[in-house]
Structure 1
């Protein structure tokens, strides 16, 4: 993993030199002829301007710096917070604490030491020593809304100090003289390269991790406990990595984490040895399927050159659009059974989260771009479910899958507390997205079924499906059904691979499904629908009263509902013989699939099949009624282009006719 990160740093042209690191800069104080003239805001939205090479000190170096400078606190060189440099308080009217004042003294002392060799820094030092100039700087920062934690640096007579290279050599010399220089003769094997090196005592922290990490950063590799010295090894000697390689993996990981999506309570950093744009589009699609553009109908592999990255097309936005289209075409071609040429690009996927001051690697996955495309295509196919319009519902976002496993979040509950019961599901779901053979955890099904039953038995399920459009509640149902289907398809795929049978479910109702539990769910919907003589889409009363018992003891409940349905069917036949015939035919077809025998009890896994059978039969019945109503309406409009009735009356009449048929 470390070796792959180091190669990524080299490929991306990042700056892995020890003592240098990219940082965000929010404000630039401008000096002309030794006088302060104003501040330039660099913030764009919530982020500041990214400066590729800034002076950087590790935590041990920061701890040693006060002794070197003769100060009680430490400060960063050239760029530090507005509180440290300008003594800007956290709140207006407050006094700056003694610790911040001590850091301000350390900043000036470090600047004074550098100014002995770099006279360009003297104007900055003079402003800091002049109380009036410093007060003016502080006042303008406060007026412009700067925060005490915002990072500030200086421009002298038009020269941006951080962006210039005038301080590079001095900074290297300073670090060597003050903190020592690694010996040229190596003493240990570098775990990332296999070369003989002098190991770095400590590794730089990750500042872009977030998700559980401390604001001051988190260490990916660290040895700060006494147990790590039990074999006479100190700190970084326990896992030797050179200072240069430690800086390189940190630079690559910081760059990746800055743009990595948050999935649940972890970040997922993914990179490729080439074809980065297309590969990233596939990864983005897992998090948000809507990012992929519509695939073209025809696609040929003839123009796919996997040895070269795509060329930049005028703007980065256009390049991203091309990459998304190519990724979608790749998925579509795989679905059509077209075998691409060997795609040599390799991907590396790192799932990581913070635990206070440490970074925890949750998962590490590698493979080819072809394998990734096949995995994403299978992921989408397993999650495909038909909506009430007879079309495939929108592909759910990854975070939506996680959130809809349990009941909706109450407003009084924090997001962190809400995610705690399902936190252990984010990693197996992520693995399932990257590996077509990885299972959906059964614990996700158990949690989902608890929430689903509550939704059904409170009437929220029926109410949501009766509304027009695809609102949040209806989308929640689609997402849950999609995840249940994915669970059973993943299980069936493993069974088929072992020669143990297995049945891959389709996105719509399947009369040939081998499970009686699935057909019990179908029967439950049809019997509940019979109770409504008007044939409405969803009968809430029967469903609320009997769904829970029917899904666990179908023989007891469905047998009773079947007997009751005969009375209702006879009544419907007198008023709407066409509707009665349709209902009887559908019920008979389900009984035929069941073999005229209802299971006495269903396990929790079988209850999930019951839920799928119920939903898919409902979606099929509703979409067929909608299609028939639309056909009747179109036929009526063609027969009488100038109807006497109002459009609303015509719609009602057409729907009643469709139900009667």
Structure 2
């Protein structure tokens, strides 16, 4: 299903003119070899462009459409019109002159074979170049002498003729297209992706730019060991995929990953998304809804509500239909291959319904200093790790599991709750994000109705659920201590929070006794206020304090503490 969806997306982009047709691909090119009519090298053109990287300005290669590069392993395999200096010039710094000579000879043979029938002046110039070029004198050539060291550092070169790349010449393109369609001796089989007969792809092109994978790219489909093969088949014969399908899905996926505006990394997972038809507005909206914490909350929420109701809406001057098919793919590095963390597909309306439900479950009162209206996925994952660690990365599987739960509207993964609980115990801090996660996790995963009744947006003053009341009482006792000792560095939260939430019968008598000593330091008005508050909460505790609280009960304690604390600060703002 993944390959079929990507192949269809390629065809959608091809129809819109947004992607290279079969036989062509985007490649990074650093230099251009400018040729004369008789094939002489006139000059070396810089194709790098300046970009800002932090505080520095650096040169990076241009991306240009070139003939589809071959997939190299250890052998000699030349590319047409665009290649490294070892192939186009017959020189490099690898210290293997015999192999470099083989590379240049292979490049010459390839160009002579493909361009032998072409009559354009650009094609004739390329053939003349190979006929007259002498790699032995390359270093002293006037066009290369000044930039020799830079060229030898690596990077692709491209033939250039009369002010433009040779790849734009009509006869050269036609010659390449014909040669590409006739190339290969692969047997025609039924493609498992398209359902059409065609030459089988023995090796599938690499997928590039997945964070953590090899820089040269990694395969999504490959069979490079006998353990992966069946019935003595080799490589691509194990799962017959036509050369067209392998080109189409890899080209589409590389284009998706290269589009940084619509690609996100969560943990070790690289996430891409796309909509049937190739319209980018769907990707823009999905990224804004799930990852952007600076979005216009009113605009996004209003649009989400209409889409979840099955209405079409206008977004960025494009129409969003809830019936459009939408896809989300998560990829992670795995040695020389890529691992599929998850693949989700459904209608765009279903996606928005589930995301809306996710945000509704997360909604909880937030501190006045927290200016972010939403909690995107990456912020939720941050709440599960120690931000002071050298490498504060969340559980690799958690990113995919969490996003899949959001997309499907299913229970959240247990690892999300485990991570938050561990951070609360270690730091004794209930942040907005952690409180939101506790609330959402139990609302969606728990069947305990008494527990779910306190998982509310704001303080539930009517609930008599004991763990929740104890959390509220702890917040009041902490407030008493802070009022009695302004500027205190260590409060009862730092010393007793974990034990109070786990073994209340042991800790709370001590805390109540401490509170009486703190009250003795306050003026009469505050004493009356706090005594009334403590008495009111104690009066609703009608059972013996338990020796231990379960994990869900401890979460109710923590939510009670968070709600009471936020209510206290809200009252201060109102005054």
Give the TM interval when normalised to the shorter protein. Answer: 0.7 to 0.9
The answer (yes or no) to whether the contact 2:30–2:61 under 8 Å persists in 1 is yes
In the alignment, what sits opposite 1:428? 401
Alignment: residue pair count: 551
- Over aligned residues, Cα RMSD in angstroms? 3.8
Deviation at 1:383, TM superposition (A): 2.9
Normalised by the size of structure 2, how large is the TM-score? 0.83
SS of equivalent to 1:490 = helix
In the alignment, what sits opposite 1:29? 33
SS of equivalent to 1:623 = helix
| Residue 205 (structure 1) aligned with residue 206 (structure 2) | yes
SS of equivalent to 2:356 = helix
- Tell me how far apart the structure 1 counterparts of residues 152 and 286 of structure 2 sit (CA, whole Å): 35
SS of equivalent to 2:63 = strand
In the alignment, what sits opposite 2:55? none
In the alignment, what sits opposite 2:492? 542
- Tell me how far apart the structure 2 counterparts of residues 561 and 447 of structure 1 sit (CA, whole Å): 28
- Tell me how far apart the structure 2 counterparts of residues 454 and 510 of structure 1 sit (CA, whole Å): 27
Deviation at 1:127, TM superposition (A): 5.4
The answer (yes or no) to whether the contact 1:274–1:309 under 8 Å persists in 2 is no
Deviation at 1:32, TM superposition (A): 4.4
| Residue 488 (structure 1) aligned with residue 424 (structure 2) | no
1:403-552 correspondence runs (5 A): 403-410=382-389, 413=390, 415=391, 418-419=392-393, 422-436=395-409, 438-456=410-428, 461=429, 477-492=431-446, 495=447, 502-503=452-453, 505-513=455-463, 515-534=465-484, 540-552=490-502
In the alignment, what sits opposite 1:653? none
| Residue 557 (structure 1) aligned with residue 561 (structure 2) | no
Deviations 1:135-187 (A, max 9, x none): 545445467x668343221211213123444333333454566632654xxx4
The answer (yes or no) to whether the contact 1:271–1:349 under 8 Å persists in 2 is yes
- Tell me how far apart the structure 2 counterparts of residues 223 and 297 of structure 1 sit (CA, whole Å): 44
In the alignment, what sits opposite 1:248? 248
The answer (yes or no) to whether the contact 2:501–2:549 under 8 Å persists in 1 is yes
SS of equivalent to 1:360 = strand
The answer (yes or no) to whether the contact 1:29–1:39 under 8 Å persists in 2 is yes
Deviations 1:593-635 (A, max 9, x none): 544543321233332332232223222212312332xxxxxxx
SS of equivalent to 1:295 = helix
The answer (yes or no) to whether the contact 2:326–2:345 under 8 Å persists in 1 is yes
Deviation at 1:128, TM superposition (A): 6.1
Deviation at 1:489, TM superposition (A): 2.5
Q: Which moved more, 1:95-104 or 1:482-491?
A: 95-104
The answer (yes or no) to whether the contact 2:481–2:515 under 8 Å persists in 1 is yes
SS of equivalent to 1:162 = helix
In the alignment, what sits opposite 1:156? 161
In the alignment, what sits opposite 1:315? none
Kindly tell me: are residues 529 and 302 of structure 1, through their superposed partners in 2, closer, same or farther at Cα, counting changes over 3 Å? Answer: closer
SS of equivalent to 1:222 = coil
SS of equivalent to 2:249 = helix
Kindly tell me: are residues 388 and 200 of structure 1, through their superposed partners in 2, closer, same or farther at Cα, counting changes over 3 Å? Answer: closer
- Tell me how far apart the structure 1 counterparts of residues 283 and 520 of structure 2 sit (CA, whole Å): 60
Kindly tell me: are residues 609 and 17 of structure 1, through their superposed partners in 2, closer, same or farther at Cα, counting changes over 3 Å? Answer: same
Kindly tell me: are residues 258 and 302 of structure 1, through their superposed partners in 2, closer, same or farther at Cα, counting changes over 3 Å? Answer: closer
Deviations 1:434-483 (A, max 9, x none): 122x2222223223222222223xxxx5xxxxxxxxxxxxxx93333332
- Tell me how far apart the structure 2 counterparts of residues 253 and 604 of structure 1 sit (CA, whole Å): 43
Deviation at 1:12, TM superposition (A): 0.8
- Tell me how far apart the structure 2 counterparts of residues 302 and 527 of structure 1 sit (CA, whole Å): 42
Deviations 1:52-107 (A, max 9, x none): 45233245xx77xx6xxxxxx33322112356546787xxxx77554556535543
2:283 counterpart (280, 284, 291): 280
Kindly tell me: are residues 275 and 226 of structure 1, through their superposed partners in 2, closer, same or farther at Cα, counting changes over 3 Å? Answer: closer
In the alignment, what sits opposite 2:56? none
In the alignment, what sits opposite 1:166? 171
- Tell me how far apart the structure 1 counterparts of residues 298 and 147 of structure 2 sit (CA, whole Å): 50
2:377 counterpart (353, 374, 398): 398
1:122 counterpart (120, 123, 127): 127
- Tell me how far apart the structure 1 counterparts of residues 487 and 563 of structure 2 sit (CA, whole Å): 13
- Tell me how far apart the structure 2 counterparts of residues 510 and 221 of structure 1 sit (CA, whole Å): 53
- Tell me how far apart the structure 2 counterparts of residues 616 and 501 of structure 1 sit (CA, whole Å): 15
Deviation at 1:405, TM superposition (A): 0.7
1:96-245 correspondence runs (5 A): 97-98=96-97, 102-114=102-114, 116-117=116-117, 118-122=123-127, 124-125=129-130, 126=132, 129=135, 131-132=137-138, 135-141=141-147, 148-175=153-180, 179-180=184-185, 182-183=187-188, 187-188=189-190, 190-208=191-209, 210-245=210-245
SS of equivalent to 2:171 = coil
In the alignment, what sits opposite 2:561? 614
Unaligned 5+ residue runs, structure 2?
52-58, 118-122
- Tell me how far apart the structure 2 counterparts of residues 307 and 57 of structure 1 sit (CA, whole Å): 47
Kindly tell me: are residues 613 and 302 of structure 1, through their superposed partners in 2, closer, same or farther at Cα, counting changes over 3 Å? Answer: closer
Deviation at 1:527, TM superposition (A): 0.9
The answer (yes or no) to whether the contact 2:294–2:372 under 8 Å persists in 1 is no
SS of equivalent to 1:508 = coil
In the alignment, what sits opposite 2:82? 79
Q: Which moved more, 1:105-114 or 1:558-567?
A: 105-114
Deviation at 1:129, TM superposition (A): 4.5
SS of equivalent to 1:166 = helix
The answer (yes or no) to whether the contact 2:86–2:103 under 8 Å persists in 1 is no
- Tell me how far apart the structure 1 counterparts of residues 328 and 423 of structure 2 sit (CA, whole Å): 32
- Tell me how far apart the structure 1 counterparts of residues 61 and 246 of structure 2 sit (CA, whole Å): 26
The answer (yes or no) to whether the contact 2:35–2:126 under 8 Å persists in 1 is no
1:284-299 correspondence runs (5 A): 284-285=287-288, 288-290=291-293, 292-296=295-299
Deviation at 1:119, TM superposition (A): 0.9
Higher strand share: 2
In the alignment, what sits opposite 1:659? none
| Residue 43 (structure 1) aligned with residue 49 (structure 2) | yes
- Tell me how far apart the structure 1 counterparts of residues 137 and 326 of structure 2 sit (CA, whole Å): 55
Deviation at 1:544, TM superposition (A): 1.5
Normalised by the size of structure 1, how large is the TM-score? 0.73
Deviation at 1:36, TM superposition (A): 2.3
- Tell me how far apart the structure 2 counterparts of residues 377 and 606 of structure 1 sit (CA, whole Å): 27
- Tell me how far apart the structure 2 counterparts of residues 455 and 445 of structure 1 sit (CA, whole Å): 15
| Residue 370 (structure 1) aligned with residue 317 (structure 2) | no
1:584 counterpart (527, 531, 552): 531
Deviation at 1:123, TM superposition (A): 5.5
Deviation at 1:558, TM superposition (A): 1.5
- Tell me how far apart the structure 2 counterparts of residues 39 and 153 of structure 1 sit (CA, whole Å): 10
Q: Which moved more, 1:425-434 or 1:49-58?
A: 49-58
